[in-house]
């Protein structure tokens, strides 16, 4: 884990509220893998903003971050330009370890889609992807997912693109009768809860990346507590330190 200033290489606006930064950070890229995140200092804010790593290019020493403007901190971040430096702490968290000998389905919802891009890319060309958005206006990274995966399905709540409905509608069809598949998911809690329930019903292994409000990002402040239930009982763990990726069957939603 390192904390220092890194230069923003490129800035791109993906939709009204979502931005993509490529960061020049050789040492940080070296230690990164899919599903991990970084904590970024935003001017005037005591608490850093956690942003998941979208893609990693170890050869060129860069990571890609995709984030949504949700408040003053991320608004400040969105106003940074190529060439500016950001104070970044990371990489943090456990991340995904896609099992390459199984059929893998990657599910992303809204701003939960970016980490699934790196995960699908890591898995390889046979990755199957399901993306969910409120409407076409919020859609991001579709062409990027098509570049790395063999099959990309989209669900929008209002039906303005792809299937009208939820990612779970598509996932249910894809999982029918295939207990050997494995599901990786990131997105809003209700979506993850639905996916976890579906996977349990179909007896399919599932890993979810939880989004929680964070403070320190290193397990020191308890801001990101979550409940995990395993064979030994129920425990309070930290999303930042013990996660953000957990076995879905152990998460108390």
Nearest to 19 by CA among 49, 45, 47: 49
Candidate list 11, 163, 189, 223; residue touching ligand FES; CB under 6 A: 223
Candidate list 24, 219, 228, 250; residue touching ligand FES; CB under 6 A: 219
Does position 226 interact with ligand FES (CB under 6 A)? The reply is: no
With beta carbons less than 8 A apart as the criterion, state whether 126 and 150 touch: yes
Q: Which is nearer to ligand FES, 71 or 124 (CB)?
A: 71
Q: Which is nearer to ligand FES, 183 or 226 (CB)?
A: 226
Q: Which is nearer to ligand FES, 56 or 240 (CB)?
A: 240
Does position 214 interact with ligand FES (CB under 6 A)? The reply is: yes
Candidate list 240, 245, 248, 251; residue touching ligand FES; CB under 6 A: 240
Alpha-carbon gap, residue 97 to 232, rounded angstroms? 24
Does position 222 interact with ligand FES (CB under 6 A)? The reply is: yes
Closest approach of Cβ 27 to ligand FES, in Å? Answer: 23
Kind of pairing, strands 2-13 and 18-24?
antiparallel
User: Of 24-32, 127-135, 175-183, 208-216, which segment contacts ligand FES by CB under 6 A?
Assistant: 208-216
Does position 220 interact with ligand FES (CB under 6 A)? The reply is: yes
- In eight-state DSSP terms, residue 211 is P
Alpha-carbon gap, residue 239 to 86, rounded angstroms? 23
Nearest to 151 by CA among 196, 181, 191, 179: 181
Three-point CA angle 160, 166, 167, nearest 5°: 110
Closest approach of Cβ 32 to ligand FES, in Å? Answer: 19
Does position 243 interact with ligand FES (CB under 6 A)? The reply is: no
Cα separations in angstroms, 179 against 35, 76, 100, 141:
24, 45, 16, 29
Q: Which is nearer to ligand FES, 95 or 194 (CB)?
A: 95
Does position 228 interact with ligand FES (CB under 6 A)? The reply is: no
- In eight-state DSSP terms, residue 221 is S
Candidate list 2, 103, 215, 228; residue touching ligand FES; CB under 6 A: 215
Closest approach of Cβ 104 to ligand FES, in Å? Answer: 28
Nearest to 240 by CA among 33, 38, 6: 38
With beta carbons less than 8 A apart as the criterion, state whether 26 and 34 touch: no
Residue ranges in contact with ligand FES by CB under 6 A = 214-217, 219-224, 238, 240
């Amino acid at each position: 884990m390192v904390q220092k200033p890194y230069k923003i290489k490129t800035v791109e606006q993906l939709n009204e509220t979502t931005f993509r930064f490529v960061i020049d950070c050789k040492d940080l890229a070296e230690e990164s893998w899919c599903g991990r995140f970084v904590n970024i200092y935003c001017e005037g804010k005591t608490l850093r903003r956690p942003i998941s790593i979208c893609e990693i290019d170890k050869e060129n020493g860069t990571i890609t971050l995709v984030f949504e403007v949700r408040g003053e901190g991320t608004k400040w971040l969105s106003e940074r330009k190529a060439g500016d430096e950001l104070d970044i702490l990371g990489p943090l968290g456990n991340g995904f370890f896609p099992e390459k000998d199984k059929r893998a389905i990657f599910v992303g919802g809204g701003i939960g889609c970016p980490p699934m891009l790196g995960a699908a890319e890591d898995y390889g060309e046979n990755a199957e992807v399901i993306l969910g958005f409120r409407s076409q206006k919020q859609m991001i990274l579709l062409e990027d997912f098509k570049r790395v995966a063999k099959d990309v399905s989209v669900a929008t709540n209002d039906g303005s693109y792809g299937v009208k409905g939820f990612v779970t509608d598509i996932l249910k069809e894809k999982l029918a009768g295939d207990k050997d598949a494995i599901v990786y998911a990131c997105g809003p809690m209700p979506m993850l809860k639905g996916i976890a329930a579906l996977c349990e019903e179909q007896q399919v292994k599932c890993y979810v990346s939880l989004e929680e409000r964070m403070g320190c990002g290193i397990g020191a402040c308890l801001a990101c507590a979550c409940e995990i239930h395993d064979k030994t009982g129920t425990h309070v763990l930290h999303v930042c330190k013990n996660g953000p990726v957990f076995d879905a069957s152990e998460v108390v939603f």
